[in-house]
C-alpha cells in the first residue's frame, strides 16, 4: 500500500510539473493603437512579454468583458510606457499566467490624442475556443464606450489569473531586430518586429510535449505497480511456507524420517510441491539412572586356614 500511494503521488506531481512554462511575445503599439497579437493562448506558468515599441505611451490594464475600458478592481496595470526612437532600450513587461481556464481581458488606457481603448486597443488571453465571436463583441463594446477613465499612474503587479514580478524593464534589442528606416507616422513602427511564435504552433508544441510526458509518466507508474505486485506476491508466498510449518494446534511439521534425515520437498496429498510432510512430535521421557555407589567388601576368614574364603558386600550395619 505505501508503494501504491508513492506511485500516485509521483504521478500527480509529475503531471503538475510537465509544463515548465513558455514565453509568448505581444508587441504593444507597433501597428498603431493595437496589440499584436491581440489574442493569446497561454498555459498556466507561461510568461506573456509585452514589448512597448511605439513612441506613444501605452499600457496593459486588466478589465472585464462586461465593462471594457474600465479597470478591473484587483487587476494588473503595467503603467504608461513607450520607446523613444533615439534609444534602443525597449520597455518589456512580464506577465505570468496563473489561471488558464478563464479569459483574461485587457486594454490600453492611453488617451492621447484620443482614447486608445475606444479605438479598439484591447486584447484577451485564453479566449474560449467555443466563443470565436466573443472577441468581436468585446471589441465592438470597447469602441462604443464614451468617456474613457483617466490613466492611473500607479503600477499594479497583482491581478486576477495573472501577475507580474516587476515593473517594465528596459531591454536593449540587437541591431538585427531594428529597422534602418526612421519613423514617419504615428502608426508606422520604429523597429522591425522580431520573429514571434504563433499561438497555433505554441499550442501544438505544448500538446506534443504534454502527451509525451504523460505517456512516459504513465509507463513509469505502471512499472512501479508491476514491481509492487510481484513483491507482494513473493512476500505472501514466503509467509505461507513459513506459517504452514505450524498447524492450528501449534505442532511442528517434520519430514519423513529417512536415513537419519527428513525428506523435505516431497509432494503431499494436496499436490503442493515443496511442502513439508507433517509428523507429530512425540515426547520421550528419560528416567534418571541413580549413580553407582562403591561399597566396601567384608572378608570372611576360614577358621582352619586363615585365608579369605569369600568377599561379600558389607552388611548395612557396616555403613553406620
Q: For 98-125, what is each residue's pLDDT tens digit?
A: 999 999 999 999 988 889 999 999 999 9
In a domain, 137, yes or no: yes
268: which 3 cell numbers?
A: 503431499
- 190-240 pLDDT, tens digit per residue, is 334 444 444 444 454 455 555 556 666 777 777 777 777 777 777 766 655
In a domain, 49, yes or no: yes
Mean pLDDT of 75-84: 90
> What's the first-to-final CA gap in the chain, in angstroms?
81
Question: How many other C-beta atoms are found inside a 10 Å radius of the C-beta of residue 253?
Answer: 18
Mean pLDDT of 156-179: 82
Cis check for the bond before 37: say yes or no (omega within 30 of 0). yes
In a domain, 179, yes or no: no
- Predicted confidence at residue 227, as pLDDT, reads 74
Mean pLDDT of 38-46: 96
In a domain, 95, yes or no: yes
**Residue 194 neighbours by CB under 8 Å, 6+ apart:** 25, 173, 177
Domain count, the chain: 1
In a domain, 254, yes or no: no
CATH classification of the domain holding 84? 2.60.40.420
Contact 81, 99 (CB under 8 A): no
- 294-320 pLDDT, tens digit per residue, is 655 555 555 555 555 555 555 555 544
In a domain, 118, yes or no: yes
Residue 33 has pLDDT above 90, yes or no: yes
12: which 3 cell numbers?
A: 500527480
CA distance 186 to 169: 23
Phi, psi of 23, rounded to the nearest 5 degrees: -115, 125
Burial 150-165 (b: 16+ CB within 10 A, else e): ebeeebbeebbbbebe
In a domain, 298, yes or no: no
Question: Containing domain of residue 62, as a range?
Answer: 23-171
- Give the C-alpha distances (Å, rounded to integers) separating 206 from 52, 95, 202: 27, 19, 6
More confident residue, 211 or 253: 211
- Give the C-alpha distances (Å, rounded to integers) separating 283 from 90, 245, 280, 286, 312: 99, 19, 10, 10, 42
In a domain, 140, yes or no: yes
More confident residue, 2 or 74: 74
pTM of the model: 0.54
Contact 141, 120 (CB under 8 A): no
Name which of 13, 8, 14, 7 is nearest 215 in CA terms.
14
Long-range contacts of 181-184 (CB under 8 A, 24+ apart): 182/85, 183/55, 183/85
Name which of 251, 250, 274 is nearest 263 in CA terms.
274
Amino acid at each position: 500500500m505505501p508503494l501504491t500511494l508513492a506511485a500516485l503521488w509521483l504521478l500527480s506531481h509529475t503531471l503538475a510539473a510537465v509544463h515548465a512554462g513558455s514565453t509568448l511575445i505581444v508587441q504593444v503599439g507597433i501597428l498603431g493603437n493595437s496589440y499584436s497579437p491581440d489574442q493569446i493562448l497561454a498555459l498556466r506558468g507561461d510568461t506573456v512579454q509585452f514589448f512597448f515599441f511605439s513612441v506613444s505611451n501605452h499600457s496593459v490594464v486588466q478589465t472585464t468583458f462586461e465593462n471594457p475600458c474600465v479597470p478591473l478592481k484587483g487587476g494588473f496595470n503595467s503603467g504608461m510606457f513607450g520607446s523613444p526612437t533615439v534609444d534602443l532600450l525597449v520597455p518589456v513587461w512580464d506577465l505570468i499566467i496563473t489561471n488558464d481556464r478563464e479569459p483574461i481581458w485587457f486594454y490600453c488606457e492611453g488617451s492621447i490624442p484620443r482614447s486608445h481603448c475606444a479605438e479598439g486597443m484591447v486584447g484577451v488571453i485564453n479566449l474560449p475556443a467555443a466563443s470565436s465571436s466573443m472577441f468581436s463583441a468585446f471589441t465592438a463594446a470597447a469602441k462604443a464606450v464614451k468617456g474613457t477613465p483617466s490613466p492611473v499612474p500607479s503600477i499594479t503587479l497583482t491581478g486576477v489569473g495573472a501577475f507580474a514580478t516587476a515593473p517594465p524593464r528596459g531591454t536593449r534589442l540587437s541591431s538585427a531586430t531594428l529597422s534602418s528606416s526612421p519613423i514617419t507616422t504615428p502608426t508606422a513602427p520604429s523597429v522591425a518586429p522580431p520573429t514571434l511564435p504563433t499561438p497555433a504552433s505554441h499550442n501544438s508544441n505544448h500538446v506534443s510535449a504534454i502527451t509525451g510526458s504523460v505517456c512516459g509518466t504513465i509507463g513509469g507508474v505502471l512499472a512501479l505497480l508491476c514491481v509492487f505486485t510481484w513483491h507482494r506476491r513473493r512476500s505472501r508466498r514466503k509467509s505461507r511456507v513459513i506459517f504452514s510449518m505450524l498447524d492450528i494446534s501449534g505442532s511442528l511439521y517434520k519430514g519423513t524420517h529417512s536415513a537419519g534425515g527428513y525428506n523435505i520437498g516431497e509432494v503431499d496429498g494436496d499436490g503442493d510441491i515443496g511442502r513439508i510432510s507433517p509428523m507429530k512430535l512425540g515426547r520421550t521421557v528419560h528416567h534418571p539412572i541413580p549413580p553407582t555407589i562403591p561399597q566396601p567388601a567384608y572378608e570372611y576368614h576360614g577358621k582352619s586356614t586363615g585365608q579369605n574364603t569369600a568377599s561379600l558386600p558389607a552388611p548395612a550395619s557396616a555403613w553406620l
